[in-house]
Amino acid sequence: MVPRQYGDLMAVRKCPKHENCYLVDWRPEGRNGRRPQRHFPGTEAGAHAFHMEMVRVSRREPVPTINPKVFQLLPDWKAQYRNDHAASTVKDLETALVHLVNYFGTMYLAEISGLIIEQFKARQLELKLSKRTINKHLSYFSGFLRWCADHHYCEPVKVRLFPAKQTKAPKPRPLHPNEVTAMLRFIEQEYRAIFLLYNDAGLRRSEALGDETYFGLRAEDIDLQFNCIYVRGKGNKERIVPILTSRLRQALEERLKNVKSGHLFLNPKNKNKPYQGIRKALKRAAAAAGIDKRVYHHLLRHNFGTHAIVAGLGLRQVQYIMGHSTSHVTEGYTHVANYLDNEAAKFSLFTEGKPATEKKKAKSTADVSKKRKPATAKAAQTRPKI
């Protein structure tokens, strides 16, 4: 029996249809107002705590005259969100809204509180969603609640996410250069240039192929005279990416023989619309090459970042080439580069035409010069500066 201090026992009762579930109702608008009802999975004590929280929230501030439900305001918010963000981000939002609307859709804005959000997190964990995915969904919902508060539909609500240490992104597992070479032998010729733009130039899929927001590469963006590519990236920012490998240059030259102007990669099988991606081609090439790793568009971009660090490019230069707004993301590639450093002699990706033995010799000479120290501290002080 639950002690009387839990409050109104009639407001909390067992659900007749589900085990370990309680029906909770309260009157946020007073004695004569509506009486919303919610299912609460958990213990009876937890259900009473949830009821007390709902009563506290409803008494904290007067309920606004206009107190819409969540689903009623989502179309207006989505319209503004669509104007401010890339099409790929809006597509990701649509996926998140499936989970958010199922849980919050029929709730009044005045009912939403920190405890309600914690219940949502618990429910999503039961559905086997990762904490990182739940955080992403709640980030979208937090933006929606801020928009509602800015438009005076509700009071601000703080959304507490899972701690960052519990939601770290998995480290990318790049392909070895030998695996990249193997895939190049099997990938269809029409996709070769796209593959190399990802792997040898570090372009994003949207930058190379385009989407509803970006136009993708055009023939006019390839400057073979100066050996560079003009890329429009996130936020419509333009950067100049050098063509670092002869195989990428050769693939672009072949492409430009057939495409003199306009979009560089049009799909002849889809009424000459831009390619949406080459995911299936990547899977076929990986399978033919005997690679059992998961190969996807962005993994090839990770390849570029990791291989560039191993090959000796500076962190700042890699950041610029890849279009990272801060060096924090670029620094993530150094963890893989550290343990691949011993294999650097095999990486002909950015040193084409140089034998591996020559690179090993150069490295050993550099190591000797690093280890060479002056005989005494005094000698070091008196050595003339160059």
List, for residues 215-264, the tens digit of each pLDDT value: 688 999 999 999 899 998 877 788 889 898 899 999 999 999 988 888 88
Please give the domain boundaries of the chain with CATH numbers for all domains: 4-60 (no CATH), 70-166 (1.10.150.130), 177-352 (1.10.443.10)
Query: CA 319, CA 316: separation in Å to the nearest integer?
Result: 5
Half-sphere exposure of 134 (CA within 13 A, CB side): 24
Instruction: Report H helices in the chain.
Output: 44-60, 70-84, 87-104, 114-126, 131-150, 177-186, 189-201, 205-209, 246-258, 279-288, 297-311, 315-322, 327-331, 334-340, 356-371, 377-382
Torsion angles phi and psi, residue 43, rounded to 5: -90, 165
pLDDT tens string 113-148: 888 899 899 999 999 999 999 999 999 999 999 999
Across 59-68, 280-289, 310-319, 341-350, least confident range: 341-350
pTM beyond cutoff 0.85 = no
Nearest to 204 by CA among 78, 331, 89, 287: 89
Identify the pLDDT of residue 280.
92
Query: CA 115, CA 50: separation in Å to the nearest integer?
Result: 7
- Residues with Cβ within 8 Å of 316's Cβ and at least 6 positions away in sequence, in order, are 327
pLDDT tens string 56-71: 666 555 555 467 899 9
Residues carrying an active site annotation: 204, 234, 298, 301, 324, 333
Nearest to 161 by CA among 195, 186, 137, 143: 137
Cβ atoms 315, 229 nearer than 8 A: no
